[in-house]
Structure 1
Amino acid sequence: MKTRSHFAARLLPLLLAITVFAVVEQARAESPESSRQSNPNIVLIMCDDMGFSDIGCYGGEVMTPNIDRLANEGMRFTQFYNNAKCTTTRASIVTGLYPRFGKTHLRRNMVTIGEVMSAAGYKTTLSGKWHLGDGKDTHPYYRGFQSFYGLLDGCCNFFNPRQPDPKYKGGRVRNFAINDTPLHEFPENYYTTDAFTDHAIKAIHNADDAKQPFFVHLTYTCPHYPLHAKPADIAKYRGKFKMGWGQMRKDRWKRQQAMGLVSDAWSLTESDSRSYSWESADQDFEDHRMAVYAAMIDSMDQNIGRVLKTLEETGHDKDTLVLFLSDNGGCAEEPGGRDPAKRNPGPKEDYVAVGPAWGWAQNAPFRRYKTWLHEGGVTTPMIAWWPDSIPANSINRDVAHIIDLMPTFVELAGTEYPQTFDGHEILPVEGISMLPLLQGKQREGHQQLAWYWSKNRAIRQGDWKLVWDKLNPDKKWELYNIANDRCEVKDLAKEHPDRVAAMAKDWFAWAEEMEVKVKPENSSKAD
């Protein structure tokens, strides 16, 4: 008969093995590697018409503790490019393609990120601004986003999206919807920035309940005009912009230098052809409208804090990639003018913009602004946050572009970019995955990047950038060495005529492929 001690001797190795296995599994569970979900959730946040240097972690004065947290715990990019315009940027982000300039930017031979991620098993949501159409082929709800809430147009009243635009802006009533159902009524205390966040948070909870990964594209309309903000947020910033746009640029430049975001070898541009004198301006009015603009960004930051809190509450703060960027540089448009007797920034009854002087300053240290293709128009702040997977408090100086987002998400989702979709042959993706960059590694980048909007042109090859500015009175290409002169101060076109000719030829070849209708360049005509 076997003794109790005999069974104990047989059982002891088994118990020891179980204990060791449990310890190993616990250690693995607590390790950074295990916290990385193989197919992470993705929250892609994009704001509208915000300048390169407006947020705190890029040198700005606005209080953005939540966005700054993303930067401190994640990665900031210094050479991340957009398309300088709302529609073209959105087209590239959702397709991974350069924008085509025919009848529409979004077509059936293009697959959207919503469609790709849905096919990969993600719950997909777009909350905010769409601006790519509302037909069967162009509506977000019919192009892969299982849930849509927001603005199908380009801008709207923040307190009442169905309030008609003023006559000087065309008097339009903006198109707002939930899924494919138009919305006509909004509650008394409505504010778009809050409502877009509410819908994004609901989408995260719904995906968590369904135990599915989620792709949430949160596209704020702020700080695009009209300048609408809550009185309490505006009050934080009144009087803080009395330094004027020129000094604001210099102050931001110094902070950017201290942060290591810019090179001391660059020279700050001193003026802009569409700016005007601070000394002769109505400084109280100018301070007021910039204060409202700052308040809009402040409100967005508060709402991004709500999203981060939701990720923590649902246990998805470690398996979610959060990206933040702007669709183009600060905006120089000024519908309705700047007469203080006629314009009142802040409340829903008026419709005000910041104008060209502030719009230029918001992109410090770069030249120009939205719709222009100098660095101020096409460079966006871009932050990537994914705890334990992206190096904390890191700065990435590699060149990347919004067309790179699609292939990055495809790789993270563990899926393939399709050759055909819904019976249509699909154009090949033109972006390159950024996953190596997010991991702190190198990648083979683009041989060239190119842009077009409203007669403005640009192409970048390596450190060289060729620019055609429609306001240049000489109607000639400008050439800059971006490595030495990111602020585009010294035009080197006369010193390198062969390079100018070769790059211009490459731009026209690209433009033809993108269906840009421009005349061959000659000595006197820009288009």
Structure 2
Amino acid sequence: MISNLLRCISYAFICLIITAVAQAAEPDKSTQRPNIILIMCDDMGWSDLGCYGGEVQTPNLDQMAREGLRFTQFYNNAVCWTTRASLVTGLYPRYPRPLLTKNMVTLGEVMQQAGYQTALSGKWHLGRTDTTHPVYRGFEDYYGLLDGCCNFFDPYYQDPKYKWGITGDGHRFFAKNTTRITEFPDDFYTTDAFTDHAIEQIKGYAKSDQPFFLHLCYTAPHYPLHAKPQDIAKYKGRYAAGWEALRDERYQRQLKMGLVDPQWKLPARDPESADWEKDKYPRDWQQRRMEVYAAMIDCMDQNIGRLMATLKETGVDDNTIVLFLSDNGPDASEPGGANPKQQPGPKEYYTTCGPSWAFPQNTPFRRFKTWMHEGGISTPLIVRWPGHVTPNSLTKQPAHIIDVMPTCIELAQTNYPEKFDGHKIIPVEGKSMLPVFQGETREPHASLFWELRNNQAVRQGKWKLVADRTINRWELYDLEQDRTETNDLAAHYPERVTKMKAAWQKWAEKTGVANEKHQRGKQIP
């Protein structure tokens, strides 16, 4: 009996030793570098997601928000290519173009140098030369669209009846690495295809001990308005009350969610937006535009759900940080004009949402894509990082697209290079957001700057100076009291206006904006 007891004790002791050795061999997860997934959608409004007050069905992104952190003051550069340039370089856009040069280092290059596996799936829009193509700028694997937009069902599709919209001959440059793709299967849809490629990369990368950086860039919900019939059907009749009613509805939800301050006034209808009651276009066609737009976001959310499920299936979920944002506010343009003969939805037609629907997509802010009021430069930003980010949290700390690069650098425990590939690199201009992710208060940027097509802005603390090219005048707003920009204080604080204008001019000269062709002879007084 005693010998049996001794054998049991010995066996238990050996098991304890084996367990201890195994635990010692496991990596310390608190110091392990995380995988990074950076998801960007295209031309989506600040209020379109459920977790930002929208009615579009986005359960997967809403779950990301419940499990993570939402920013209420995250800024982009108001248009596709300038935002993407800043995101991958950590710099304000430089002029003259191209916006990606050899004296800039990209996120792909920095992460690859730090030992990360790197892939890009989706829209690039920064060039396809040997100095600007993603596979030559740090991304080991690329699949997607090198242009700004395309037909969602067939990127090489051209209908001779409709010359407007998808530029030139209609054919866009879609590629796998450097090989152009011109034929697509019957069930092709860009949002699905980009996700399929991203999932394939994750499954391969998860087999390695090496961390990965994946940049997933959807073209949804950028025009043309193309969506699957089953997704469109979910929203049939949902927008029958019109854009003004939708804006009021979203605003009330945002108030209850604590996303906006009740003291901020809801701005009047945008000057480019029609009066719903007097709108001259067929009601069913107007509703259909928004139904298809919503369906495009819905489909993207479904695909993000597939991606998140893959993280769990491959066992990398706990050590992966996922960020989601949009490149700019919604698009109000109507290339070729509004045409009710073009039916939103199927691949044979080309149409857009137009300014009237872009107006509620940005609730509660003013303006939209390309403008420097809050509606043009504000984006949702959701950050999910299990065990590191407080679930269901909000931050009102301002941050900017130039902050993504230094954030990824700190996550990867590496450094921004002074030189790369023999070239001296422009010093990074962003600041890491990691302290904000961890619930701390970050020292804010002293100034943030914007310019596009002679729309201009600078933010210093709570103050924002913004110029609208259509009225050729600087406006000053206190964003703490009035982030919806309804009370211009420029006449009350002339010295502040002068000081902020001077700061903007100095920045414009540094970045080359002041010498841009479209700027000459048209300085805002």
Task: State the TM-score, normalizing by the size of structure 2.
Answer: 0.94
Q: How does 1:78-97 map to 2 (within 5 A)?
A: 78-97=72-91
Q: Say whether residues 1:127 and 2:121 are aligned partners.
A: yes
Aligned match of 1:198 = 196
1:27: how far off? 12
Q: Structure 1 residues 36, 289: closer, same or farther in 2, change over 3 A? A: farther
Q: How does 1:495-514 map to 2 (within 5 A)?
A: 495-514=492-511
Q: Say whether residues 1:446 and 2:445 are aligned partners.
A: yes
1:338: how far off? 2.1
Aligned match of 1:409 = 408
Q: How does 1:274-285 map to 2 (within 5 A)?
A: 274-281=272-279, 282-285=282-285
1:361: how far off? 1.4
1:176 to 174, 177, 180: 174
The one-character-per-residue Cα deviations of 1:141-184 (angstroms, maximum 9, x if unpaired) are 11000000000000000000011374123433211111011111
1:37: how far off? 5.9
Please give the secondary structure, in 1, of the residue aligned with 2:430.
coil
1:94 and 1:367 map into 2 onto residues whose CA distance is 27
The one-character-per-residue Cα deviations of 1:458-495 (angstroms, maximum 9, x if unpaired) are 000000000000122xx210000001000000000000
Aligned match of 2:470 = 471
Amino acid at match of 2:339: D
Stretches of structure 2 that go unaligned for 5 or more consecutive residues are none
Aligned match of 1:251 = 249
Aligned match of 1:66 = 60
Contact 1:37 1:319 in 2 (8 A): no
Contact 2:505 2:514 in 1 (8 A): no
1:525: how far off? 5.3
Q: Structure 1 residues 446, 188: closer, same or farther in 2, change over 3 A? A: same
The one-character-per-residue Cα deviations of 1:321-378 (angstroms, maximum 9, x if unpaired) are 00000000011011232231x2210000011000011112101000000000100000
Please give the secondary structure, in 2, of the residue aligned with 1:372.
coil
Contact 2:339 2:351 in 1 (8 A): no
Q: Say whether residues 1:300 and 2:300 are aligned partners.
A: yes
Please give the secondary structure, in 1, of the residue aligned with 2:379.
coil
1:244 and 1:50 map into 2 onto residues whose CA distance is 19
Please give the secondary structure, in 1, of the residue aligned with 2:491.
helix
The one-character-per-residue Cα deviations of 1:417-447 (angstroms, maximum 9, x if unpaired) are 1110011111111110111111111111200
Contact 1:38 1:412 in 2 (8 A): no
Q: Say whether residues 1:187 and 2:215 are aligned partners.
A: no
Aligned match of 2:163 = 167
Aligned match of 2:458 = 459
The one-character-per-residue Cα deviations of 1:208-253 (angstroms, maximum 9, x if unpaired) are 1233211110000000000000001001102101121111111111
Q: Structure 1 residues 16, 196: closer, same or farther in 2, change over 3 A? A: same
Alignment RMSD (CA, Å): 2.5
2:99 to 94, 100, 105: 105
Aligned match of 2:48 = 54
Q: How does 1:304-343 map to 2 (within 5 A)?
A: 304-340=304-340, 342-343=341-342
1:264 and 1:27 map into 2 onto residues whose CA distance is 54
Amino acid at match of 2:492: E
Moved segments of 4+, more than 4 Å? 11-18, 20-29, 33-37, 518-525
1:26: how far off? 7.1
The one-character-per-residue Cα deviations of 1:96-136 (angstroms, maximum 9, x if unpaired) are 11111212100000000000111111110110000000000
Contact 2:267 2:365 in 1 (8 A): yes
Q: Structure 1 residues 195, 264: closer, same or farther in 2, change over 3 A? A: same
Q: Say whether residues 1:225 and 2:219 are aligned partners.
A: no
Please give the secondary structure, in 2, of the residue aligned with 1:168.
coil
Aligned match of 2:351 = 352
Contact 1:160 1:190 in 2 (8 A): yes
Contact 1:36 1:389 in 2 (8 A): no
Contact 2:46 2:379 in 1 (8 A): yes
Aligned match of 1:515 = 512
Contact 1:54 1:60 in 2 (8 A): yes
Aligned match of 1:234 = 232
Stretches of structure 1 that go unaligned for 5 or more consecutive residues are none
Please give the secondary structure, in 2, of the residue aligned with 1:287.
helix
Amino acid at match of 2:497: V
1:21: how far off? 9.1
2:138 to 135, 144, 150: 144
Contact 2:454 2:519 in 1 (8 A): no
1:17: how far off? 9.5
2:499 and 2:310 map into 1 onto residues whose CA distance is 51
Amino acid at match of 1:450: F
2:361 and 2:24 map into 1 onto residues whose CA distance is 47
Contact 1:35 1:388 in 2 (8 A): no
Aligned match of 2:394 = 395
Amino acid at match of 2:399: A
1:19: how far off? 3.5
2:339 and 2:231 map into 1 onto residues whose CA distance is 23
